[in-house]
Chains A and B, each alone.
Chain A
Amino acid sequence: MGLQIDAFAYANRLSRLHPAYKAGCSLLALCACLVLDRPLASVIVLVLMLALTTVWAGVPWRAVAKLLFAEGSFLLAGVLGIALTVSPSPTPGSVSVGGMWVGVSAQSLAQAVAVFLRALGSVAALNFLALTTPVPDLLEWLRRLRVPEVLVELMGLIYRFTFVLLDSLGHMTLAHEVRLGFASQRATLRSAALIGANLFIQAFRRSQRLEVALRSRAWNGSLRVLPWQDAPRPQR
């Protein structure tokens, strides 16, 4: 079980570019969206970031669109809370809910649209970063920015172990699937609990095996490795 976004991060045209450029691009766009807070600016940022992701970085537009659509649908639910107004007296088009009048006003609707566009632009900017930048590059960059070493190291371990555990989770899910572990809602809950517990136990035992493996490599307490930037990068 892989993570699609992560796979694109390694396999796009910009993956070798220094992360500072991509993060800078993305953060600048984010700031533009948030600080200007104008629908027009948001739309421009949205289009620009989508173009950067698909044309410059070469991420397939289908993947980008699918991601944006999923995020847009999450956003709609949130924006609904802004679009609706609640007032003690009836307003045009409002309905009564428990003594209050719930409706939509032109003002609230405009605001909802503005927030929706702003968030969509920001999300596109974030997607650009996520889809073009391998996490190890980002971590190396954070290290250079003097983010505390323990934190960067822990992030690296979490990133690495995430994939190991995702693998285990995939295998265990399959093993329950073939024994009809997800045939009913009840069974699903039970299977989920068993898998969760098993995953936790596996994680703990793995931490012990990892420790043995570390010590066998003359470990002295720090997880020092060579800077990633110096790695030879063969042309493929």
Chain B
Amino acid sequence: MKLTFRDVHVAYPGRETPALIGVNIEIAAGQRVALVGRNGSGKSTLILTANGILRPQQGAVMLDGQPVQYDRRGLAALRRCVGVVFQDPDDQLFTANVYQDLSLGPLNLGLSQAEARQRVLQAAEQCGLSHLLDRPTHSLSGGEKARAAIAGVLAMTPRFLFVDELLHHLDPWVRREVLRLLCDLASAGCAVVLATHDWALVRTWAQHVIWLEAGRIFRQGHPSAVLTGPECPDLEGAPC
């Protein structure tokens, strides 16, 4: 499966400069992609566009070569394949306990209760949440909340998973767990796109880097090719 952006322009209403300008990308199944760039460079906008929350004014988002249809059915089909995990888990955990929250997505897809339950248990297992299913959401730790947010999306069995700066609140141990989970997902054939500011991680983890500057693609390609030169903040010496 392939997700393609062809010459995508996205502007927010009431903003003069578009947030994405002529973006061309292609993401293949099982790929590990890093999305980097300054604050406000358009990473979140790209993610929302991939999921169909934002609609490009120009250009097209394509799934396996077919342009996305922005009607009810087309969007449902897109969102079945493309999942998003947001920065703040509290923005996406709706119910008072983990179990019910995980079931929201599968039920939205129109699955039966039995199938939905199956999906929930599976996603929980995958994210190591099985023992927390009956816990109230507000009693979870930061890492557990992050994993619950991921599991809520995995329960919809996406083929492309976009993760927006989720790792930043997590301690290195929990981060490692979450990263391992993302690696497993990629080996299982789900493309993982990680928006992050952690360049060390990008260098070791990513197979493909998309670097945005002010809404445009600045560079993209393999980290060894892209992450060189004086523009890279991590190559400068110690700050003091």
**Residues of A in contact with B (beta carbons under 8 Å apart):** 2, 6-7, 10, 134-136, 139, 156-157, 159-160, 163-164, 167, 206, 209-210, 212-220, 223-228, 230-234, 236
Which parts of B116-156 form the interface with A (CB within 8 Å)? Answer: 116-117, 120-121, 130-131, 133-139, 152-153, 156
Q: What is the interface of chain B, defined by CB distance below 8 A to chain A?
A: 48, 51, 53, 75-76, 79-80, 83-84, 86, 88, 90-97, 99-101, 103-105, 107-109, 113, 116-117, 120-121, 130-131, 133-139, 152-153, 156
* CB–CB B91/A206 < 8 A: yes
Task: Specify which chain A residues have a CB less than 8 angstroms from the CB of B133 in the assembled complex.
Answer: 231-232, 234
Q: Are A156 and B91 in contact, CB atoms less than 8 angstroms apart?
A: no
Q: Is the interface of B mostly helix, strand, loop or mixed?
A: helix
Top 9 A-B residue pairs of the complex, sorted by shortest distance between their CB atoms: A163-B138, A213-B92, A226-B103, A231-B99, A225-B100, A218-B79, A209-B91, A218-B108, A217-B105
Question: Are A156 and B95 in touch, CB under 8 angstroms?
Answer: yes
- Looking at the assembled complex, report how far the CB atom of B127 sits from the nearest CB atom of chain A, in whole angstroms: 15
A167 to chain B, nearest CB (A): 8
Residue of A nearest to B50 (CB): A216
Q: A217-B92, A232-B130 are in contact. List 10 more A-B contacts (CB 8 A).
A: A136-B96, A136-B136, A210-B92, A216-B53, A217-B153, A223-B104, A224-B108, A225-B95, A232-B133, A233-B134
The interface residues of chain B lying within 8 Å CB-to-CB of A227 are 113
Give Cα A157–Cα B104 distance, bound, in whole angstroms: 14
Chain B residue with the shortest CB-CB distance to A226: B103
Question: Which of A213, A231, A233 contacts B86, CB < 8 Å?
Answer: A213
